[in-house]
Amino acid sequence: MEYPWFELQENSADITQGDIIKGCPVPILKEFNIKEGQNVKAEIIKIDGIVLTQACDIANKKVENIILCAITSKSEFEEILRSAGKTVKEIRKNIDGIIKGQQNAYHIINDYKSEEFSQDYYIINFKDIFSVPVDVARAIAEKNGKRLRLCPPYREHLSQAFARYFMRVGLPINIHLD
């Protein structure tokens, strides 16, 4: 039995968990004056992201905002590591660690190639989380034209990896056996 990684969406405003949305505007707070309480400086940037909000919550209109995590193509991720002075061997070890689930702040999804659309592997960064109004995400998704939607069981695997990242508990003192 074959398990495709993705469904190709085209000119659709329908969004669900596992949808890749490119160029989505998100706010970045730059400054907040706690004394005055009203002075907030923010910047709007555009990110490529993947929807992590549960599909049932979106479908049943239980949320006004969706959660997006930033994604970076594998080639861009490798370039970032090269710029940080990493060797080819270190970069490969880093990506292998992500594939094996040893770096819980990151997750990787497969590439996609067809005659009409292609996508590199994507590294998902669970440290970069954004909340976006559902209507904004839908409008951007539709504007994206052709885009990919992660299929089960890969969507659930992503969700599980996201949960593992957030459920970590650091203990103040480790157990030391005598």
Domain spans of the chain, in order of start: 6-166
**Over the stretch 138-158, which tens digit does the pLDDT of each residue have?**
999 999 999 999 999 999 999
> What is the pLDDT at residue 61?
94
Q: How many residues does the chain have?
A: 178
Can you say whether the dihedral through the CA atoms of 97, 49, 9, 163 is positive or negative? positive
* Rg over CA atoms, the chain: 18
**Over the stretch 34-53, which tens digit does the pLDDT of each residue have?**
676 677 888 999 999 999 99
CATH number given to 6-166: 2.30.30.110
Can you say whether the dihedral through the CA atoms of 42, 79, 109, 161 is positive or negative? negative
> What is the pLDDT at residue 42?
87
CA-to-CA distance for 12 and 44, rounded, in angstroms? 24
Q: What's this model's pTM, rounded to 2 decimal places? A: 0.89
Reported as a pLDDT band with limits 50, 70 and 90, residue 33 is confident
170 pLDDT exceeds 90?
no
> What is the pLDDT at residue 37?
63
CA 157 to chain centre: 13
